[in-house]
Structures are given as C-alpha cells and as structure tokens.
Amino acid sequence: MQYDVEYIRNQFPALKVTVNGHPAAYFDGPGGTQVPERVIEAMVSYLSNCNANAGGYFKTSQESDQIIAGARCALADFLGSEADEIAFGQNTTTLIYQLALALGRFPGRRNEIIITEIDHEANRGPWQALEEKGFIIREARFDPESCTLDLEDFKAKLSENTLVAAFNYASNAVGTISDVGEMARLTKEAGAISVVDAVHYALHGPIDVKAIGVDYLICSAYKFFGPHIGVLYGKREPFSALPSYRLQVQLDGIPHRIETGTLNHEGIAGAAEAVEFIADIGDRFGAISCVSNPGGHNCPDRREKILAGMQVLEKYEQPLADKLLKHLAAIKGVRVYAPPAGQPRTSTVSFTVEGISPDRVTEILGEKGIFAWNGHFYALRLVERLGLADKGGLIRIGLSPYNTEAEIDRLLFEIEAVAGN
Ligand SMILES: Cc1ncc(COP(=O)(O)O)c(C=O)c1O
C-alpha cells in the first residue's frame, strides 16, 4: 500500500494546533516528535487501570509488571536485542551519566576515553567528568568542511589504553550518519567498550545492535513518538558485570542494575506503544502487509514490521529532505550545513541566513505556525567547529512522518521572504 500521510496525520492530536490562523507545521522533530493518540491512550490506560509499584502479589502490580516486561520485549524488537538487555531510565543524558560513573568507578590500566566533536553534550559531558578521576579524554575530530566525523582520527586515537569510545549514530545538528558498525568494530579490536548515542538516528533508520556489535546504545522514546523516557541497550556481557552505583536492595541482575528507584511506568507503557505505532506503519505500508493479508501465513513478526516501518518512513522523508536541501541552497543568503551528497544522512537539514540571526528567523517562522529550533541543540562542540557558536548557531528543520510537501513549500516561501529574495 502507498504511504498515506493523511492516515498518519490523523493519529496525532497535536496537528490540530493553530497559530495566528496558520496550522502548526512541526519541524521540531529532532527536539522531540509529536505523539500519536494510541501512545497517549496507553499511558492513560496504565494510570487508570494498573497503576502500582513493581513486584506485588495483587492484580494491579502484576499487570504493571506485565506491561513493563512487555515493553522490554517491544524495545528489544526495536533495537534487535534480547528483552533483558533493555533498561529504562530518566533520559539519555542521565543514563550516560550512570554508565560513565559505573565504567569509571574503578580506574585501571586503561585510562583513556574517546569522545567526538560531532556528538551532543549528552555523550561528551558525562565522560569529560571522569577527568576528575584521572582519565584522559581524547576527542575525535569533526571536519567542518564535509560535516562528517574524521574516522581516521578516531582510529588513530584508539589504543591499548582506551577504556571507552563514545560516539553518536547520527548528528542531531547536521544529520550526518556515521559508520557506527566500523567504529564499534575498531573499538572492539582495541579491546575497549563502545557507547553509542542513537537518539537522533532512532527516528530515521532501523537499528540492529547485534549487527553493529556495540556494547551499549542509548536512545530516548520522545524522539520516536513516545513519552519522555530514556532506553539503554546493554550487551549481556559486559552489562552483567557493570559496576553501577545501586542500592543494596536493588536487583543486581540485568537489566535492573542500572535502573535506580521506581521507573516511569506510564512512560514505559507509552514507549512500547510508540514501537507498536512504527510496527503498524511497516505492516500497512511496508513490503509484506498483514493489513492487506490478515492472518496470512506470510505475516511478519514485530521486528520485521518495525524494520519495514523504519524503511517506509525514510523512503517518505528522504525525497522531502532532498527537495528542501536543493531549494534552500538556491536561496540567496542561505548557507546549508550538510554532509556531501551520497554520504548517509537523516532527513534533518540545518542552515543559516545571512544578516539575520537564527533565533530571529525561528521567531518569524513561529509567528506563521512553523515550528523549528535554532541554536546549538547541545551539539555545542560541532557548532563551535563550524564557527557559529558566537553567531547564534544554526536553524534546524527536522522532518517527521507527519510533515507534508505543502508544509515544506510554506517553509521555503517564508525563508525566501526572510532572506529578502
Ligand atoms: C543526539 C542526541 N543525543 C542526546 C540527546 C539528549 O537526550 P535526552 O534529552 O533524552 O537526555 C539528544 C537530545 O536532543 C540528542 O539529540
């Protein structure tokens, strides 16, 4: 079945918002997508029907436990792991802090940590904090010309002293997708632990933690139609031995050893439903469909539907991103910051407009009901390396499955006006 953007849009209550008579056009997806009704309902249903703490011998606690166990299975299908390798936390930043605290707890012979200049601060700051414990932090270079990570530099920085290499799957500022499979392989070859920030990538492509061979991978459900919680994949070994800080009453097996305190149960219920939403897209619009063949013996399992769903979304978004890139680049005074054609990238496009600050541009767009972010988006080092840190950073347009070509035309019209063309 052909991708039906109206079917998708009808599921998002937030798309009814208007500003000064203009329908809202949400290009703020990399800061967090909108949430489908079914995800909202799953959270409300949790709170209405089975709100309880974990591990009790009564109905609501048992149902709550089942929902959380089911959510681990759903997120495992999303990332390609086993259910007990999935832990939940407050958000990605907090999960990476917990990981860094644990991995840096008992300094040994390996006293170097590699971070990158292309990363969000969430995968830099927690590791830099380990300098206090005597760790040496090495930064792999970002090339501002090509907007890509310098893989050779990353490789050169790995050594027998490396404890951890922390890098992102895709840049939330310029959309560049890095070769994480190769980076994880090089990290493993050096005997070090890989920690991948997949927050930006998670909305834009299928993830297979086993195929890329990472040790830890973290993402946040609010970037892929879910509520504000973080999700951590930890490879069984070394996760089982992670020396995390935890209470003596806390379960110490995986995945619990990094889950401090009571989890966000309703958020977990919502995250699982967000995965079902993606699976449903794969089912409806992907190559093999149970919707058109209900009960058919060829019906794929949830993992296959999720993979198909991610493919459907990118197939829809990439041509829109190409159009946006092409037309933006043609506007006088606009400078696009993007990887070269052919380099893997998400549908996120960033740019500046000569003579007008990014915050003023997004303010003008905001008045017209066009929602976009400006600034450094916490990818501070990257924006510094682009020479834009003292110029207000970038304007970022993030495409999500509910965006339409008409919205892009509206956006381009306003940018042309702002640029004085
Ligand atoms: C690439 C990337 N990493 C990490 C984060 C931080 O995620 P969280 O807000 O869940 O801590 C973000 C948030 O924008 C991000 O885009």
Cα(120) to ligand 1 centroid in Å equals 7
Strands 86-89 and 112-116: unpaired
Ligand 1 closest atom vs CA 228:
10
CA-closest candidate to residue 67, choices 348, 276, 315: 276
Residues 6+ apart with CB under 8 A from 47: 266
Going by alpha carbons, the residue nearest to atom 7 of ligand 1 is 92
**Taking a C-beta distance cutoff of 8 angstroms, is the pair 347, 317 a contact?**
yes
Query: 5-36+314-418 with 40-272: one CATH topology?
Result: no
Strands 348-353 and 230-234: unpaired
Domain 5-36+314-418 has CATH 3.90.1150.10: yes
**CATH among 3.50.50.60, 3.40.50.2300, 3.40.50.1370, 3.40.640.10 for 40-272:** 3.40.640.10
- Enter the tokens of residue 211: 């195929």
Q: Residue 47's Cα: distance from chain center in Å?
A: 26
CA distance 389 to 399: 24
CA distance 274 to 151: 33
- The identity of residue 315, as a single letter, is K
What's the chain's Rg over C-alpha atoms?
22
Ligand 1 closest atom vs CA 122:
4
Ligand 1 closest atom vs CA 96:
11
Ligand 1 closest atom vs CA 197:
3
CA distance 208 to 345: 17
CA distance 337 to 146: 9
Task: Determine the residue of 99, 176, 180, 200 to mutate for testing ligand 1's pocket, defined as the one with the most ligand atoms within 8 A of the Cβ atom.
Answer: 200
- 88 backbone dihedrals φ, ψ, rounded to 5°: -115, 150
What are the residue boundaries of the structural domains of the chain, listed by start? 5-36+314-418, 40-272
Residues touching ligand 1 (Cβ under 6 Å) are 91-93, 120, 122, 168, 172, 197, 199-200, 220, 230
Cα(166) to ligand 1 centroid in Å equals 14
Please report, in tens digits, the pLDDT of each residue of the chain (421 residues total).
899 999 999 999 999 999 999 999 999 999 999 999 999 999 999 999 999 999 999 999 999 999 999 999 999 999 999 999 999 999 999 999 999 999 999 999 999 999 999 999 999 999 999 999 999 999 999 999 999 999 999 999 999 999 999 999 999 999 999 999 999 999 999 999 999 999 999 999 999 999 999 999 999 999 999 999 999 999 999 999 999 999 999 999 999 999 999 999 999 999 999 999 999 999 999 976 676 666 666 667 999 999 999 999 999 999 999 999 999 999 999 999 999 999 999 999 999 999 999 999 999 999 999 999 999 999 999 999 999 999 999 999 999 999 999 999 999 999 999 999 7
CA distance 408 to 395: 15
